Amino acid sequence: MAKAFTPHGRHLIAGDWVGTEAVFRSEPAHGAAHDFSVGTVEIVDQACRAAEVAFWSYGATSRAERAVFLTAIADEIEARGEAITSIGSSETGLPEARLDGERGRTTGQLRLFARHILSGDYLDRRRDPALPDRRPLPRPDIRLVQRPVGPVAVFGASNFPLAFSTAGGDTAAALAAGCPVVVKGHSAHPGTGEIVAEAIRAAILRTGVHPGAFSLIQGGRRDVGTALVTHPLIRAVGFTGSLAGGRALFDLCCSRPDPIPFFGELGSVNPMFLLPAALGARGAEIARGWAASLTMGAGQFCTNPGIAVLIEGPDADAFADAATAALEPVGAQVMLTDGIAAAYRQGRDRIAGTEGVQAVLTSMCDLRTATPYLFATTGAAWLANHALGEEVFGPLGLIVRVKDAAEMEAVARSLQGQLTCTLHLDAADAELGRRLMPILERKAGRVLANGFPTGVEVCDAMVHGGPYPASTNFGHTSVGTLSIRRFLRPVCYQNMPENLLPDDLR
């Protein structure tokens, strides 16, 4: 029996639970609704000022101290595991097994980052020793190390209440770098955000970290998000969400008197290219795998593979039949919010109403549920209408039948930036695969072979990002240990006395 958790509905500001006059009520998929204080511009200012004060001590902590803090957060989250799963499932409708797995990913990520920073490799330390006898001019002693940028704003994601929210990847990366964090919680799961913030607060008390190193602001309208990204003490922003919302915040960051980096992960259609030999040999198997990936979690993953590109003919027809057969039995699934469900239906209608698109599988969904849809179009229609490449967040697939390998390459070249691109190929497809690879690696942050992109491994080599609009900064990732580098900047020290250098350079 899961332990009960009843939210008190307040913001966490520098160690204190703070209420505000206005409240909003959560909209759980099942179970009791709760009232939560609405964030305000004044609350944002308090949190940002506390983060700046905390930075002077937290930014100077040792790597060992920060590793202990990250591990303590993981411990405190695990100590609340049953209660987190219970309220998370109530708020989002996600099954308990999914939330248990996501919690493990969240705590595993915190521990991975703790181990990673202990090694010090991420600091990219460099030294050019002095050459006093060099002619015609001597060279000074020059050293370089990565230093934390300062307070970071993080926006929680709707589709990952743990791994991309309060203590998720952006928060963990910023804290690992030595940056205090102000989180704008997502209103789809405020109770989950609160209990995770409670875990972070407990870790702060255990380790003696300055309480201003973490704050959580709940709710609030556009003015709260605007106040956060434009606050003069915020030095970088992490965001996972929609293209429209992310682009608006990105523009605000760029229009500040002192522009700051905005690390936004904005979604993708994650196309798959099925090459002829693989399609002929195992098209039905790939179709079944695609259907499972497409409908996993009601398709509410930024790496959901929404597009399948293949050469027309009997094998393409057999693939469509197999995909249809695999999708037909899939029942209605609860989506994260009413708004996401409504947006899914709008996306379905947009695709269905596009010239050159035929319905392959239709179904009925309403209210907060989603059912799978499958459509088909031609390579020519795809190339004539770039709107077909816009993300539909949910279990909707589009098959693009191209005339030949040349048109498949043209479709690949027409893609906008993607988080992932996938090749399904056998040995006989190697030549076409080699022709596609230079295109796909320019289009995506991760290129897969013979798999499905919905699993994003948290590890050293992972890249979760890509050219715009997949993300706003193609040089970085929001998953994996490289994500810590987003919240660091290089500082060079010339002829600096040893006792004035940062500890990591001594």
Which residues belong to the active site? 265, 302
267 phi-psi bin (left φ>0, alpha ψ -120 to 50, beta other):
left
CA distance linking residue 233 with residue 250, whole number of Å: 17
**Residue in 36, 77, 47, 93 with CA at minimum distance from that of residue 195:** 77
Amino acid at 100: D
**The two structure tokens encoding residue 50:** 């506390």
How many angstroms from the chain centroid is the CA of residue 401?
30
Assess whether the previous peptide bond of 497 is cis (omega < 30° from 0): no
CA distance linking residue 427 with residue 418, whole number of Å: 26
C-alpha distance from residue 400 to each of 42, 99, 290, 303, 309 (Å): 50, 34, 14, 18, 5
CA distance linking residue 232 with residue 236, whole number of Å: 11
Sequence-ordered alpha helix ranges (H) in 333-378: 338-352
**Residue in 425, 427, 445, 447 with CA at minimum distance from that of residue 437:** 447
Q: DSSP secondary-structure letter at 356?
A: T
User: CB-based contacts of 312: which residues, under 8 Å, 6+ apart?
Assistant: 378, 401, 402, 403
CA distance linking residue 163 with residue 156, whole number of Å: 9
| Strand, helix or coil for residue 130 | coil
Query: 250-283: b or e for each residue (b if 16 or more CB lie within 10 Å)?
Result: bebbeeeeeebbbbbbbbbbbbbbbbbbbbbebb
Which residue has tokens 């204080």? 37
